[in-house]
Amino acid sequence: MRFTESFVPLAVIKQKLDELSHTELHQVQQGKWNILHHLYHCWMVERGVLAYIKLKTQDTDALVRVSLGTRLKFIFFFATLRIGFLKVNAPDIVQQFPQELNVDDLMGKWKKTREEADVFFSEFPDALAKKGIFKHMFIGRLNKTWTQKFIQLHLRHHLRLCRL
């Protein structure tokens, strides 16, 4: 299975974007971001997670096991986020947007990132996949499966926020 297979397909997102006007794409949704900001943020998260994992897996001795507590925090985090009880501000690095956002440019970058992730994980050792390869700032260290779930739920959360 490809790493990104469980993620909302980019073709589906693009199709929904194509149905919207320029005004709708740039209208602020749920606070301070418009639809393109939400999606650009999601791409930056996917790109950032991949870069983090590539860096951290260079020293496999530094990787640790994922604790049961982390799994519980993961479930609690997304459950409270889903019901609206929790609001989290994204780190500054993943909320810096260019002046002009272009759908085709964004989708091209996102496609490239997903292809890169699929290639990187195609031969990723099972022993490493079970270790904490990504550290979420609130949840803690996540293994490959929980990292995929994080990206999947994160994207769905933002698609819900911008009503896509």
pLDDT at res. 30: 64
Q: Which two tokens stand for residue 84?
A: 């609206």
Q: How far apart are CA 33 and CA 36, in angstroms?
A: 8
Cα distances (Å, whole numbers) of residue 30 to 147, 154, 158, 159, 160: 26, 15, 10, 11, 10
pLDDT band (50, 70, 90) for residue 75 = very high
131-154 average pLDDT score: 95
Whether 37 has a pLDDT exceeding 90, the answer reads yes
pLDDT at res. 76: 93
50-70 average pLDDT score: 94
Lowest pLDDT segment from 15-19, 31-35, 51-55, 110-114: 31-35
pLDDT at res. 87: 80
Q: Which two tokens stand for residue 32?
A: 């301070």
Computed over every residue of the chain, the mean pLDDT equals 93
Q: How far apart are CA 133 and CA 70, in angstroms?
A: 13
User: Are 13 and 164 spatial neighbours (Cβ–Cβ below 8 Å)?
Assistant: yes
10-30 average pLDDT score: 92
47-59 average pLDDT score: 96
Q: How many CB atoms lie within 10 A of CB 101?
A: 16
111-124 average pLDDT score: 97
Domain ranges of the chain: 10-161
DSSP string, 135-148: EETTTEEE-HHHHH
Q: Which CATH class for the 10-161 domain?
A: mainly alpha
Predicted TM-score of the model (pTM): 0.93
56-60 average pLDDT score: 95
Q: Which residue has the higher pLDDT, 86 or 155?
A: 155
pLDDT band (50, 70, 90) for residue 90 = confident
Whether 108 has a pLDDT exceeding 70, the answer reads yes
